[in-house]
Amino acid sequence: MASDNTEFMPSTDMSRRKWLKTFSAGAGAIALTGCFDSSVKELHAAGMKTEHFPSATPNVNDGLIRLSSNENAFGPSKKAVAAMQGELFNLARYTDATVDVLKAKIAKQEGVSTDQIVVTNGSSPILFGYAEWIMENGGKLVTSMATYEGIPRGAEFMGADVNYVPLDGEMGFDLDAIEAAVTDDTTAVYICNPNNPTGKVLDPAKLTAFAKRVSKKVQVFIDEAYIEMSDAYPANVQSKLVADGYNVVICRTFSKIHAMAGQRLGYAIMPAEQAAKMGQKLRMGGVNYLALVAGMASMDDHQNLETMRGRVQVERAKLVAAAESLGRPYAKKPQGNFIYLDTGMPHDQFAEKMKAKGIKVVGRTWPGFDSWSRISVGTPEETDACVEALKQVLA
């Protein structure tokens, strides 16, 4: 960053966009640096009003290594960042037309039609909107124990009956047991693949066969938030089921491998009639424009996505090796950016001990797994620090 702030002062012959692109190499990239306060000072010196900026972001700058939320610590594609920077002065319009462009890109990638796609600010609106759909269509869901809570807990909150089927002996989804639990009055089945928190991925052929059979009775919702991180991607992808006319919903997010959790962008692929109704319900004023342009740029940055998958694999392997060396049970062959570990102590106690070592992990757990904790992948330095903390806490 230059020490002479006058270098960044916009002149009469410099457009706002040109100035911002120049300035973004320094203080303008606030969200991408750790020097928040000094960056705000630089902005102020450059003539921008900064009163609306907080002095710090407590949940980021609390001194802890945050491995609790399955965030992608490596950050978004540089091309995605550049795309956002180039559009910062184009935020005055609503985003309907841009959403249509993203839908066309998704449709081409997934082999579906644009009228089968719903785009939202993150995947959470889709999950909770679907929980409401369950309640409106019978109110009975079948899923697994120890899985992502978005739909199951949302459905329960709205008054639905959720049947949690136990995991199989390898801590994966027991598809046979789930299928057997489906009755004439079941509304839907929820499958998270790879599963959160266990990280287990289903054999794609078995999942496809399961979805084809079960979707003849009830709708099957497959949450693929972590699918791009799986070793066998794209073979694990199940969107062809929707293209082939099966009663299936596929959900994706840009929060994980695309590392855009803070920008909020997600989508679902589902039968066209259902997509039209859900799209109207979840639109809520439109989708974040910068997320849209960043998402499209990230989709096109195939090299970054491949590199990201490799980085996650390397850091995940470190956590697996730590679990093995400590002799702790864990969910084998994890395929997300996390592992699920039996710590041998109450989960909240483990979280406090890790926090004392500077590491933030999940401070809650799933019913029946009180001593288990999910630990996310971090940067190489963060993962190494976590491994050292695990050795001390679990020795």
pLDDT in tens, 33-65: 344 455 556 555 655 554 555 554 555 567 899
Across the range 99-113, mean pLDDT stands at: 97
CB-based contacts of 68: which residues, under 8 Å, 6+ apart? 360, 361, 362, 363, 376
pLDDT in tens, 146-171: 999 999 999 999 999 999 999 999 99
365 or 32, greater pLDDT: 365
In terms of C-beta distances under 8 Å and separation of at least 24 residues, what long-range contacts does 168-171 make, across chains too?
Answer: 170/200, 170/331, 170/332, 171/146, 171/198, 171/200, 171/331, 171/332, 171/340
**Reduced to 3 states, what is the DSSP secondary structure of residue 388?**
helix
Query: What's the rounded Cα separation, in Å, for the pair 115 and 394?
Result: 51
Task: Look at residue 55 in the predicted model and tell me its pLDDT.
Answer: 52
Task: Look at residue 285 in the predicted model and tell me its pLDDT.
Answer: 72
Report the percentage of the chain scoring pLDDT > 70: 85
- Closest residue by Cα to residue 388 from 303, 326, 307, 298: 326
Across the range 188-200, mean pLDDT stands at: 98
The answer on pLDDT for 16 being more than 90 is: no
Report the percentage of the chain scoring pLDDT > 90: 81
pLDDT in tens, 314-340: 999 999 999 999 999 999 999 999 999
pLDDT in tens, 119-151: 999 999 999 999 999 999 999 999 999 999 999
Across the range 283-301, mean pLDDT stands at: 93
Task: Look at residue 283 in the predicted model and tell me its pLDDT.
Answer: 76
List b or e across 48-61, with b for residues whose CB sees 16 or more CB atoms inside 10 angstroms.
beeeebeeeeeeee
